[in-house]
Chain A
Amino acid sequence: MITLLFFAHLQEAVGEERVFLPHFPKTVKELKEEVKQRYHISLKQVMVAVNEEYARDEQTLQPGDIVAFIPPVSGG
């Protein structure tokens, strides 16, 4: 199982802050594809963090990972 976290407008679009995925895709890229299709959202300009570290598309996922979908940030 992996945990997905959504923030800001993505959280509103998905309707959940946190989603538990019983299976897990092999890579960040595959997960993004699945999330796009499942929730009908665009992930353009959205960054992904795995266990609180920014991750690239080719990063592989492990059971227990926490994957955050991070829209463009606007702190400050």
Chain B
Amino acid sequence: MNERLFVITDKPISVEEVIQKVMRPEAGAVATFIGTVREWTKGKRTLFLQYEAYVSMAEKMLAQIGAEIREKWPEAKVAIIHRIGRLDIGEAAVVIAISSPHRNDAYEANRYAIERIKQIVPIWKKEHWEDGTEWVGNQLETKSYPAGKPEEEDLR
């Protein structure tokens, strides 16, 4: 079995394979999140997306998120795969699978993982709209880095 739990890939993601990485006898729940490429954003049409990553660091940051999750939800097991390159509408950009003995931990840890990805993992999305292209900034739109860097809290 492929035990690489935190991976950046330029190939299509198999959801089943990601789930298999976290399956184990202790698991009573597996929560899976699939981030997909959306065609319509506020009335604007996307033709396709291009993702780019600082691959070596991105995999390290995904592993860091895994470590944070183990600290908060010690019984959870996590696998995260993020795709880069050209993605068409409906394709999976990210798949997060989390198994735990009970469902609540799996749901909570999964939500935590996607929020952290959007804060600290060096991956960028370029929108190819009908009428042009644009690198998407901070998707959270709740956070800016006035000091030019994430605060201590963002990095933990």
Contacts and interface: CB of A to CB of B under 8 A. Distances in A.
Interface of A: 5, 7-9, 12, 32, 43-49, 52, 54-57, 68, 70-76
18 contacts: A7-B122, A8-B124, A32-B148, A45-B137, A45-B148, A46-B148, A47-B145, A52-B60, A54-B150, A54-B155, A68-B57, A68-B122, A70-B54, A73-B120, A76-B35, A76-B93, A76-B114, A76-B118
Contact of B124 (A44, A45, A52, A73): A73
Interface of B: 35, 51-54, 56-58, 60, 82, 93-94, 114, 117-126, 135-139, 144-145, 147-150, 155
Contacts of A56: 149
Given A8-B135, A75-B53, A75-B118, 15 more contacts: A5-B54, A7-B52, A32-B148, A43-B148, A45-B137, A45-B145, A47-B145, A47-B150, A49-B54, A54-B120, A54-B149, A71-B135, A73-B118, A73-B120, A76-B93
A48 B149 contact: yes
B3 to A, nearest CB: 22
A11 to B, nearest CB: 8
B24 to A, nearest CB: 26
Q: Which 10 A-B pairs have the closest CB atoms?
A: A75-B123, A72-B138, A8-B124, A52-B57, A74-B136, A9-B135, A72-B137, A74-B125, A8-B135, A47-B149
